[in-house]
Chains A and B, each alone.
Chain A
């Protein structure tokens, strides 16, 4: 069981790194960079995107970046220095959609169809841990050169 859990987290981490590299031109910090960086700002949940999925696998993914990273995602995708809140939310939702779309097949057995629902921003009064308390949970953190993002996936086990 432990091996399976490790694989899920590692897979999600790799998918997220690939997505950020290709879509936002952001790169993961090397171990020595992490050591040199000292205290790295952690996501505080002020902006989070949620994608639910059902069908062959049921669950949800939450992506929570630091404020700086949320800005940088939109800036890099749009190629501008100043972004509006709507740009920031839209860009984060798109990243969540891509990471989730590439992750869900890991949970959907035998190539059965899984439906990814449109991503949305999590309201400040919503608590995904409570919303999906009946599901299993996996977490990973990705440290990028422009900030840190926490990714949580909730899924129903067989």
Chain B
């Protein structure tokens, strides 16, 4: 038993950081999958039932906002909790995205902030 988590970010170093923080939550993990953009991530959500998705917003090919919009219309993915991790600062845009997601962590972030956000979802 363990959680399936999908990490979506075009920067491999950032995916590494997020994965390390995820390990430090101490929660049991089953599959931790990495994707470099929304398009690749959409392929993964069709084959693995994820318990949590952590996604960047600013990515090539398919942005995080487009990816989230796709997830929210697919019956099998519309209830998956999503944490967005982004440098996006526009409050109007963030309000829209926040209404579709479970949490938001602003870049640059302290690892503790992200860890707490992950724990608040995985514990429930």
List A residues at the B interface (Cβ < 8 Å). Answer: 18-19, 21-23, 74, 77-79, 86-87, 90-91, 93-94, 97-102, 104-105, 108, 111-114, 116-118
* Contact A116–B108 (Cβ < 8 Å): no
Establish whether residues A105 and B90, one from each chain, have CB atoms under 8 Å apart when the complex forms.
Answer: yes
Q: How many A-B residue pairs have CB under 8 A?
A: 71
CA of A72 to CA of B86 in the docked complex: distance in angstroms? 22
**A21 vs B111: C-alpha distance when bound (angstroms):** 12
- Is there contact, CB below 8 Å, between B107 and A90? no
In the bound complex, do residue B13 and residue A90 qualify as a contact, i.e. CB atoms below 8 Å apart?
A: yes
Q: Complex: how many Å from CA A117 to CA B61?
A: 11
* Stretch from B14-22, B23-31, B44-52 that touches the partner: B14-22
CB <8 Å contact, B58 and A118: yes
Per the bound structure, the CA–CA distance linking A104 and B87 in Å amounts to: 10
Please state if B107 and A101 are interface contacts (CB–CB under 8 Å): yes
CB of A113 within 8 A of CB of B93, answer yes
Residues of B with C-beta under 8 A to A91? 11, 13
B17 touches A77 (CB 8 A): yes
- A101: nearest residue on chain B (CB-CB)? B87
The answer to whether B11 and A90 touch across the interface, beta carbons within 8 angstroms, is yes
Which residues of B come within 8 Å of A, CB atoms? 10-14, 16-17, 20, 58-60, 86-93, 107-110
**Is B90 in contact with A77, judged by CB distance below 8 angstroms?**
no
Q: How far is the CA of A117 from the CA of B12 in the complex (A)?
A: 18
A75 to chain B, nearest CB (A): 10
Complex Cα gap A111–B16 (Å): 32
Evaluate contact between A97 and B13: CB separation under 8 angstroms.
Answer: no
Among the listed B14, B58, B59, B87, which residue makes an inter-chain contact with A77, where contact means beta carbons less than 8 Å apart? B14
Cα distance A90–B14 in the bound complex, in angstroms: 9
Beta-carbon contact of A111 and B20 below 8 Å? no
A66 to B11, CA, bound (A): 20
Q: CB < 8 Å: which of B12, B20, B60, B108 contacts A86?
A: B12
- CB–CB A77/B92 < 8 A: no
